[in-house]
Amino acid sequence: MKHTKTLGGVVALAAAISIALPSVANAATYASYGSGQGLNSSLFGIAPPVGLGPATAVNDGSTPQVVNNTPVSFTVLGNTVFSLPSNTLGLPSDPFGSVIQMGAIGQYAEANNDGSSSAFSGSASQVPGLISLSNQANFNAGDVLGDPGANAMTLQLGDPASSPVSIGATFSALAAAATEDASGAQSGVYDLGNVTIVMGGTLVASLISGLDSLVSPLLTAMDAAGVNMTGITDPFQGINSITLSGDQLALALGATNLNALPPNTNLLAGIPGALENWAATQISNLLGTAQGAINTAAAAIIPGGCSGLAALDPACALFDTVDAALSTLQNIDLGTNSLIQSLLSPISAAIDALAQVTVNVQYGQGGTGCVSTDTKCNGKAGDNGTGSFTERAVELGLGPTASLASFDIASATVGPNIVVADAETPIFNAGSLTVGIVIILMAVAGWFLVSSRRRAIA
């Protein structure tokens, strides 16, 4: 009888252990996801007027690799991706004309059964510098849209002659890539290439006029004193626009270059600072040239200087005026100059009302949800907290806070990549193992308790 009871206890203990231990499966495989999309857009926050169907790769673990290298459903004609004819938006003064043109666009996605995935979209030429793709040679050979000889993207916002501000921008390259490795680590990179911004409009014309008023007293005094003006010109005369380089924008935004900006940076926010820096450089260059010409002229016209009776020489009075104007210009700080700041402030407001060009856009990093605090983040690919991550080269918004239209340009999304267990691999994790151990200990304790009571009764 004792043997029977003992055997029953062992069976019960074995059953408890079998219930507590995790199940067993085959070698683990993974489901992984990647998607590259060159262009997506919305008008007034609703139906997209233009878009490029993404290249999407989904691997359920049944094959080593899934690759999608073929973009579909490009819903535009020719090279002009988006254009708003005059008064399309029904505004009293419609600021938009031909908005976006794009050159060669490529899209690529790959998903692997080790839980890793990669995605790319944008200028095909930028692939080697951004990401390593299994089918890279194939990708470079084709699967592009647009004119390969054109810039990656050209923007023309506003009318240079009549709008408060107009912005012409060219990007020699435009691309984004995202990767998730087998450990689940996610990362993204972007590339804007060489960027040039041309600023025009009535407010910019006023800024140029204001800058001219700062330097013209010196140039007028120099000419009157007989200074040789060869090679000395007013940098603010005869221009109606200001051209800024990508490096000038990066400096104003506190970065070493435009491919090293913090996530979700509005490129256009750097324009007022870049304009101020541009103006300071023009004035500095003028001062350097003018100082040398003044010294040469003074040595020739008043070789003995203006001490004593020589001070009665009319030329001395003229050079006194030159020196005063030179000193005034040398001591001007554009960052605190009330005239220049009063002209830059409305330019900044007009830019914000016209458009936003947000670069290095990231959503859903590490599965923590939206990185950006911008309300535009809601509803974007990769911001659902499920583990997906999106790197986007550019988000273009038209109107205040993108209220009129928005364009997602060069996006790459990876994840969520998950383990798909099959029939013979132990699936252990900290939670299941802890629960199993607790159940086993409880079963052992119960078995000893029952055995002890039966011995006492016997």
Number of domains in the chain: 1
Is residue 279 within 8 A of residue 258, CB to CB? The reply is no
Measured CA to CA, the distance from residue 132 to residue 126 in angstroms comes to 11
One-letter amino acid of 330? Q
Q: State the pLDDT at residue 96.
A: 46
Distance of CA 379 to CAs 329, 376, 384, Å?
52, 8, 8
Distance of CA 151 to CAs 19, 111, 123, 172, Å?
64, 30, 9, 5
Q: State the pLDDT at residue 426.
A: 44
Question: Torsions phi, psi of 75, nearest 5?
Answer: -95, 50
Say if residue 160 is preceded by a cis peptide, omega within 30 of 0: no
Is residue 287 within 8 A of residue 329, CB to CB? The reply is yes
Q: State the pLDDT at residue 450.
A: 52
Q: State the pLDDT at residue 12.
A: 47
pLDDT in tens, 139-198: 443 334 444 455 677 788 888 888 899 999 988 888 888 989 888 888 888 988 889 999
Question: Torsions phi, psi of 85, nearest 5?
Answer: -60, 165
Paired sense of beta strands 55-59 and 29-43, if any: antiparallel
One-letter amino acid of 25? A
Q: State the pLDDT at residue 252.
A: 96
Pick from 373, 393, 358: which is nearest to 178 by CA? 393
Question: Torsions phi, psi of 396, nearest 5?
Answer: -100, 125
pTM of the model: 0.74
In a domain, 285, yes or no: no
Q: State the pLDDT at residue 292.
A: 92
In 69-185, DSSP assigns E strands to 72-74, 80-83, 96-102, 105-112, 117-122, 144-145, 153-157, 166-171, 175-180
In a domain, 440, yes or no: no
Measured CA to CA, the distance from residue 389 to residue 371 in angstroms comes to 10
Measured CA to CA, the distance from residue 360 to residue 70 in angstroms comes to 24
Q: What angle do CA 170, 269, 206 make, to 5 degrees?
A: 85
In a domain, 175, yes or no: yes
Is residue 118 within 8 A of residue 186, CB to CB? The reply is no
For 279, the token pair is: 């103006």
Q: State the pLDDT at residue 452.
A: 59
Pick from 112, 250, 110, 275: which is nearest to 120 by CA? 110
Q: State the pLDDT at residue 84.
A: 41
Is residue 121 within 8 A of residue 412, CB to CB? The reply is yes
Question: Torsions phi, psi of 314, nearest 5?
Answer: -55, -30
In a domain, 51, yes or no: yes
In 225-372, DSSP assigns E strands to 242-245, 265-266, 355-363
Is residue 364 within 8 A of residue 417, CB to CB? The reply is no
Q: Helix or strand or coil: residue 260? A: helix
Q: State the pLDDT at residue 370.
A: 42
In a domain, 453, yes or no: no
Measured CA to CA, the distance from residue 228 to residue 316 in angstroms comes to 16
Q: State the pLDDT at residue 125.
A: 57
SS3 content of the chain, % helix, strand, coil (to 5): 40, 30, 35
Q: Helix or strand or coil: residue 202? A: helix
Q: State the pLDDT at residue 90.
A: 37
Measured CA to CA, the distance from residue 261 to residue 253 in angstroms comes to 8
- Would you give the DSSP letter of residue 416? -
In a domain, 444, yes or no: no
Q: In the 3-class helix/strand/coil scheme, how is 336-362 assigned residue by residue?
A: CCHHHHHHHHHHHHHHHHHEEEEEEEE
Q: State the pLDDT at residue 454.
A: 55
Which residue range is the domain that position 412 belongs to? 24-274+342-427
If one counts every other C-beta atom within 10 angstroms of the C-beta of residue 452, the result is: 10
HSE (side-chain half, CA atoms, 13 Å) at 278: 26
Pick from 298, 293, 290, 296: which is nearest to 325 by CA? 290
In a domain, 210, yes or no: yes
Q: State the pLDDT at residue 120.
A: 85
pLDDT in tens, 75-87: 333 334 444 443 3
Chain centroid offset of residue 213 CA? 37
Measured CA to CA, the distance from residue 234 to residue 257 in angstroms comes to 30
In a domain, 224, yes or no: yes
Most distant CA pair in the chain, distance: 138
Dihedral sign from CA coordinates of 338, 236, 196, 278:
negative
Low-confidence ranges of the chain (pLDDT < 50): 1-26, 47, 71-97, 128-148, 366-385, 423-441, 444, 447
Is residue 295 within 8 A of residue 319, CB to CB? The reply is no
Q: State the pLDDT at residue 314.
A: 84
Measured CA to CA, the distance from residue 59 to residue 62 in angstroms comes to 7
